[in-house]
Amino acid sequence: MDKLIIRGGNRLSGTIPISGAKNAALTLIPCAILTEEPLTLRNLPRLADIDGFQHLMNQFGITTAIQGTRPEDFGRVMTLEGTRITSSVAPYDLVRKMRASILVLGPMLARMGEATVSMPGGCAIGNRPIDLHLKALEAFGAQIELTQGYVKAIAPDGGLPGGDFDFPVVSVGATENALMAAVLANGTSRLFNAAREPEIVDLCNLLVAMGAEIEGIGSSDLTIHGVKRLNGATYKVMPDRIEAGSYACAAAITGGDVRLEGANAHDMSSTLAALRAIGLEVEEDAKGVRVAANAPLKPTDLTTAPFPGLATDMQAQLMSLLSKANGTSVLKETIFENRFMHVPELTRMGADIATEGRTAIVKGPVDLTGAEVMATDLRASMSLIIAALAAEGETQVRRIYHLDRGYERLEEKLQLVGADIERVGDD
């Protein structure tokens, strides 16, 4: 198992290319289930989760062909073709490592009239629940059964009739699943209080390119007129707003000046607003975003919220950055109840952070020092990298397989702008 070694203190300067968005790609790939024609996705990031989803598509009988396999390339092009679906079962062995696998439920039900999908990650309904996914599908006419760790969904003879569903709380994944189920329904479906994240818009845009009829794209109320069939398409995955925000924090904590090539400022507006509040200079143009730290960092209070609010996936990275701000900051996490697992590791590096329920109080500035730390999840892992870039001495980050799920060739991109970082085998 690999680890990262970071020697802090280098000021980051230069250009980082932003990859295609992981969270969007994992939603676009299952759209291949909805058509017999080829679906070509461009700008797919090279990530473990993408490889895992490719294997899941193959399990269904969908063929996949990949271009852009040269080691020096960022991103790839994948063509998926589901002329004939040979299985409607997503087995535990393929689903357990990747929660996004639940997103095959809606499209498989829509096309095949049935789907059997393992509970993602062996999860039980309750914590990060999938109950909203199931209730939305039931509202469209599906029969749902939970048995032996699997969700089995069956459509009436002739397909889903469609229906209306009002989300009691905003859910990105459930909105995505419902959209993919509704596009082939026999009637019109309406979603109220739907998620509005840019990744949802990306999904809608692809579905429209495939022939779907969707009204209200970008809003919280969506109307989907079911069509008989969808065609193939060629589509470019949106840039990763979380990756761009993460590298912006890395630049800021080192007093750096970095251009995020390809970043979409509109999609990451809440992150850029937070960075400006912390004292960074942010410049936006049609080709990317430039972030520069030319003044002392200022404390600020931040609260995560569904889009257009501050993404929960940016909370850990901003926490690391605020450990170097001149004063006390307060971060409130409203999306997930267990999103502070990085705090003990950051305190090992010298951060002054106290948590009270879903609130973290960060006092700064502190002198961060290198240490051996353990990555606990994807975004927590990135927060440790950011802290290490500003720490005195050497930091070793273990269990970096989390990072490989969400950041394409992270160490190479950071090396491009002057970071002293390397991947080595973990003894």
Tens digit of each residue's pLDDT (9 = 90 or more) over 170-218: 999 999 999 999 999 999 999 999 999 999 999 999 999 999 999 999 9
Q: Are 23 and 199 in contact (CB under 8 A)?
A: yes
The count of other CB atoms within 10 Å of the CB of residue 286 is 6
One domain for residues 293 and 162: no
pLDDT value of position 128: 54
pLDDT value of position 182: 98
Instruction: Report residue 404 CA to chain centroid gap.
Output: 13
Mean of per-residue pLDDT scores for the chain: 93
Residue 353 marked as a ligand binder: no
Residue 49 marked as a ligand binder: no
pLDDT value of position 73: 67
Average pLDDT (83-110) is: 90
pLDDT value of position 191: 98
One domain for residues 136 and 45: yes
One domain for residues 327 and 316: yes
What percent of the chain lies above the pLDDT cut of 90? 83
| Cis peptide bond upstream of 308, omega within 30 | yes
Residue 285 marked as a ligand binder: no
Least confident of 86-100, 133-147, 243-257, 290-304: 86-100
One domain for residues 281 and 413: yes
Structural domain count, the chain = 2
Residue 423 amino acid letter: R
pLDDT value of position 223: 98
From the list 40, 74, 53, the residue with the least C-alpha distance to 236 is: 40
Q: Above 90 in pLDDT, residue 119?
A: no
**Alpha helices (H) in 125-210, listed in sequence order:** 131-139, 172-182, 198-209
Average pLDDT (54-74) is: 85
| Helix H or strand E segment including 151 | strand 150-154
Q: Can you tell me the distance from the alpha carbon of 402 to that of 170, in angstroms, rounded to the nearest whole number?
A: 26
One domain for residues 14 and 35: no
- Torsion of Cα atoms, 79 then 82 then 88 then 89, to 10°: -30
CA-based angle 108:167:103, to the nearest 5?
A: 25
Least confident of 61-70, 109-118, 304-313: 61-70
Residue 132 domain boundaries: 22-236
pLDDT value of position 253: 98
- pLDDT band of residue 70 (cuts 50, 70, 90) is low
Of residues 31, 123, 204, 249, which has the active-site annotation?
A: 123
| pLDDT single digits (tens) 304-351 | 999 999 999 999 999 999 999 999 999 999 987 777 889 999 999 999
One domain for residues 193 and 314: no
Residues composing the chain: 427
| Single residue among 236, 255, 272 that ends a domain in this structure | 236
- Torsion of Cα atoms, 228 then 232 then 238 then 243, to 10°: 100
One domain for residues 174 and 305: no
One domain for residues 222 and 295: no
CATH number for 173 = 3.65.10.10
- pLDDT band of residue 124 (cuts 50, 70, 90) is very low
- pLDDT band of residue 72 (cuts 50, 70, 90) is low
pLDDT value of position 137: 97
| Single residue among 206, 236, 266 that ends a domain in this structure | 236
| Single residue among 236, 251, 276 that ends a domain in this structure | 236
Residue 200 marked as a ligand binder: no
Residue 156 marked as a ligand binder: no
Residue 76 amino acid letter: R
Q: Above 60 in pLDDT, residue 122?
A: no
Tell me whether residue 123 is one of the annotated catalytic residues: yes
Residue 296 marked as a ligand binder: no
One domain for residues 54 and 87: yes
pLDDT value of position 425: 87
One domain for residues 226 and 263: no
Residue 120 marked as a ligand binder: no
Residue 131 marked as a ligand binder: yes
- pLDDT band of residue 123 (cuts 50, 70, 90) is very low
Average pLDDT (235-262) is: 98
The count of other CB atoms within 10 Å of the CB of residue 326 is 11
One domain for residues 137 and 254: no
Residue 154 marked as a ligand binder: no
One domain for residues 185 and 276: no
Average pLDDT (259-274) is: 97
List Cβ neighbours of 93 (8 Å cut-off, separation of 6 or more).
Answer: none
- pLDDT band of residue 125 (cuts 50, 70, 90) is very low
| pLDDT single digits (tens) 130-176 | 899 999 999 999 999 998 889 999 999 999 999 999 999 999 999 99
Average pLDDT (81-104) is: 89
